[in-house]
Structure 1
Amino acid sequence: MYQLLKMKNNGLKKEVIEFTQKLVSIPSVSLQEQQAAEYTADTMESLGFDKVAKDEYGNVIGLMMGRSAGPNVMLLTHLDTVIPADDDAGIMASGCIYGAGASDCKSGVAAHVFAGCLLKRSLLPLNGNLIVAAAAAEQNGCSIGTKYLLEKTLPGLGLKVDYVILGETTGLNLYYGHDGWIELDVKVVGSNPFKVGDAANTIFNDIDNISRENEIAYPNWQIINKPRIEDEQGLRKATITVGRRMGISEDSGCITGQLKHEAIMAIKNNSSVAVDVAVRTESQTLCTGHSIAVKKISHAWSIDPFCPLMEKARGSLKASGCKAQAGKWKLGRLGMGTSGSVILNEYGIPVIGYGPGDEDQAHTANECVNVNDIVEAVYGTSAIVHSLIGIPVFGWSSDEI
């Protein structure tokens, strides 16, 4: 079976590279993914997916139907980028494709779309359904598109997801979790503008000092923004936004309470102002025009590295001749994350990551991905999918499939 997949995958290489180059060349900053979504959907249709749809949040869904209603695997990536595409986006040089999203996560989109195509062209039957989804509005770290997929779109199509494979950058390793993060607004309110300003500056300096003290032991643990001042209904308001990394055992309520205690203690002699702390919320308008309030929090997540999903994935990669090293995302900057947080913590669905690209390339000015890694990701992903929902084909001929 693996020789068949390899042979067919080699035949797909040119198409995979051309698709990735074109997708990277299409600007798709978060909340502006519509053109990239249309191109991805058109490609799925041309490759023979059984069903292709776009939902109200801008997500693209392609379905390869199996013989039964389940189990079902979802291959999930995202279309949006942090940095806008420039005029050279999609160019290939020295075996790499350059441009915003090349590594995070448009090469992953290519790997997933063509993994579905590879299984179809190899005539390898599936027991359950393969769902290939490219989500919108992921790069804000809150996985808006993924939530809508799982709550509305897929149930509306009569589909239940049993396993998820994220196509985020893993360097072709198997990843099973990462830390979380939270953004909190410290709000200082009072009628006296001078006392509000003094209190806000005192709180800022106190929290900033704590951040600096912890920076050596815990790099990128916390960032703090200077107070923003506004007047509303005769009151002076100052808002200090604090971003903080969250470990697997940390609770957002405890972090919020701790920060509020620190803020109150910093100005305990100033009784003329009120202080409160809450998770930062902002309104975002999706590429389809829908507006939604988003809480800026992404919880840490991790599955057992020896759970059935990891063991199946690891075994299939080894059997196919691919490397199968396990690990976790490092997330070098606050605000980075994956939709694994939502998928596992909110919906209880087993999820892992396997994709091309280097995590350190994500959100950088000269982002790039090696084309051979994309092609191998197509092959490795198809092997994992078949191990989960494929029908054994040992000894079968193509006429019997």
Structure 2
Amino acid sequence: MKQEILRKAEEYRDYVAQTLSEMVKIPSYSGKEEAICKRIKEICEDAGFDEVRTDKLGSVIARIGNGPKSIAFDAHIDTVEIGDPDQWEKEPFSGLIADGLVHGRGSSDQKGGAASMITAGRILKDINYNGQFTIYFTFTVMEEDCDGMCWKYLIEEEKLKPDFYVSTEPTSTRIYRGHRGRMEMMVRLKGISAHGSAPERGESAAYKAARAALAMEKLNKDLQPDEDNFLGKGTIVVSQIDVKGPSQCAVPDQAMLYLDRRLTWGEDADLAIGQVKEYIGKALDCPPEEIDVTMPEYTKRGYRDYDYSQELYFPTWKMDADHPLVESGVDAYKTLWGKDPVVDKWTFSTNAVATTGRHKIPAIGFGPGDESQAHAPNEINRIEDLVICAAFYAMLPYSLEKRI
């Protein structure tokens, strides 16, 4: 089986590169994925998947096999925008294949994983997979705007809850077993307006916002890593400050701070909100309960004209190194290439905040390309990574069958 999977993956080297190139050529910003999803559906049908459908939110779900256990391989197929076009050396949607690389926006984040998934599906069909797993390949939408919401919808509305989950976000073909969670918070502060010629008559919300921002800087320094220091410390960043008053010649009476909080293992929303209240309360010399801190709600209409929403809270997750799924990933890698993989974690967040952080489905990550390519100009992916990942995805169900 090892030799057959490796042979097929190599046979499909040009196919996986061309598939990625074609996907890169189709712009697919969050909420505008209709064209790419339509094309992915056609490619999966041409590849012979047993079932291909599109959910109400817009994600494409392809299936191979009909076993009693289930595993999902996931790639989000939306991308961020290109940013400053002058920073791109090649046209961002060229999909150029050259020198062992595929160029363009989304090549690593994260259409490369999608191309390898489709290729793995072809391999599994070629070798007539008929094992213990129903294997889902999910090509999900709106991740860049709200990571995990697509899977929250699949699990809670469509009732698709696999036994195991694999994110194909870029890992440089390493096995990842966790990442920090995150949440967003909004702090609202009140002042008392007065004419700008007599600021002593008022109470400036701007100065309160300044002291609150410095309090967040102190909180960030005080945050501690998780117990085993695998995920590292949490962080907090003031990403926006907005101050308003009756006029430009007045003491401002309203201020808003927007916070990006990264959560390590053992930290959750209640803890994070309590810390913000405590630190700002001290800075402003008032009781913590008087500080107005809320967690915003995200709502967006997808390309299928369906609205869905969730609070902007994305729970932390990590798997033990000896979990059967992690061990199966290591086994699959060693079986194929005769050496131990690097086992690590992401710096950024993925759809696993929903599958694993929220719904406790065991997960690992394994994807083509480098994390550093995400959201960067001149994005690329290595064709060799695409081939490696296609083989790994095809092998993993066989390795996992030995442990369940």
Asked whether the two chains share a fold, i.e. TM above 0.5, the reply is: yes
Match of 1:339 in 2: 351
Residue 284 of structure 1 and its aligned partner are, at CA, apart by 2.5
| Contact 1:168 1:338 (8 Å CA) reproduced | yes
| Contact 2:103 2:378 (8 Å CA) reproduced | yes
- Does the alignment pair 1:254 with 2:254? no
| Contact 2:70 2:135 (8 Å CA) reproduced | yes
For 1:80, which of 56, 74, 78 is the aligned residue? 78
Match of 1:395 in 2: none
Kindly report which structure 2 residues correspond to 1:2-401, keeping only aligned pairs within 5 A, or say none.
2-66=2-66, 68=67, 70-84=68-82, 87-89=91-93, 90-153=95-158, 155=159, 160-190=161-191, 192=193, 195-207=203-215, 209-210=217-218, 221-229=235-243, 236-268=253-285, 275-321=291-337, 323-331=339-347, 336-389=348-401
Q: Give the Cα separation in 1 of the matches to 2:308 and 2:281.
A: 32
| Residue identity opposite 2:75 in structure 1 | T
Q: Give the Cα separation in 2 of the matches to 1:167 and 1:220.
A: 24
Q: Give the Cα separation in 2 of the matches to 1:282 and 1:236.
A: 27
2:136 aligned counterpart, secondary structure: strand
Q: Give the Cα separation in 1 of the matches to 2:183 and 2:220.
A: 18
1:58 aligned counterpart, secondary structure: coil
| Contact 2:209 2:257 (8 Å CA) reproduced | no
Unaligned runs of 5+ in 2: 86-90, 195-201, 226-231, 247-251
Q: Give the Cα separation in 1 of the matches to 2:233 and 2:370.
A: 20
1:317 aligned counterpart, secondary structure: helix
Output the TM-score relative to the length of structure 1: 0.85
Q: Give the Cα separation in 1 of the matches to 2:316 and 2:220.
A: 23
Residue 162 of structure 1 and its aligned partner are, at CA, apart by 0.9
2:69 aligned counterpart, secondary structure: coil
| Contact 2:206 2:255 (8 Å CA) reproduced | no
Q: Give the Cα separation in 1 of the matches to 2:368 and 2:27.
A: 20
Q: Give the Cα separation in 2 of the matches to 1:366 and 1:322.
A: 33
| Contact 1:211 1:223 (8 Å CA) reproduced | no
Q: Give the Cα separation in 1 of the matches to 2:401 and 2:115.
A: 21
Structure 1 stretches of 4+ with a deviation exceeding 4 A read 211-215, 217-220
1:108 aligned counterpart, secondary structure: helix
Output the TM-score relative to the length of structure 2: 0.85
Aligned length: 376
| Contact 2:180 2:317 (8 Å CA) reproduced | yes
Residue 389 of structure 1 and its aligned partner are, at CA, apart by 4.9
| Residue identity opposite 1:338 in structure 2 | T
Q: Give the Cα separation in 2 of the matches to 1:131 and 1:322.
A: 27
**Structure 1 residues 176-185 or 278-287, which shifts more?**
278-287
| Contact 2:179 2:349 (8 Å CA) reproduced | yes
| Residue identity opposite 2:374 in structure 1 | A
| Contact 2:324 2:400 (8 Å CA) reproduced | no
| Alpha-carbon spacing, 1:10–1:244, altered in 2? closer, same or farther (3 Å) | same
Q: Give the Cα separation in 2 of the matches to 1:61 and 1:281.
A: 26
Residue 230 of structure 1 and its aligned partner are, at CA, apart by 5.1
| Alpha-carbon spacing, 1:208–1:129, altered in 2? closer, same or farther (3 Å) | closer
| Residue identity opposite 2:345 in structure 1 | W
CA-based RMSD of the aligned residues comes to: 2.8
Structure 1, residues 257-297: CA drift from partner, whole Å, max 9, x if none? 11112222222279xxx631122333323222223333222
| Contact 1:300 1:341 (8 Å CA) reproduced | yes
Q: Give the Cα separation in 1 of the matches to 2:309 and 2:154.
A: 17
| Contact 1:202 1:267 (8 Å CA) reproduced | no
Q: Give the Cα separation in 1 of the matches to 2:340 and 2:326.
A: 10
| Contact 1:63 1:130 (8 Å CA) reproduced | yes
Residue 42 of structure 1 and its aligned partner are, at CA, apart by 0.8
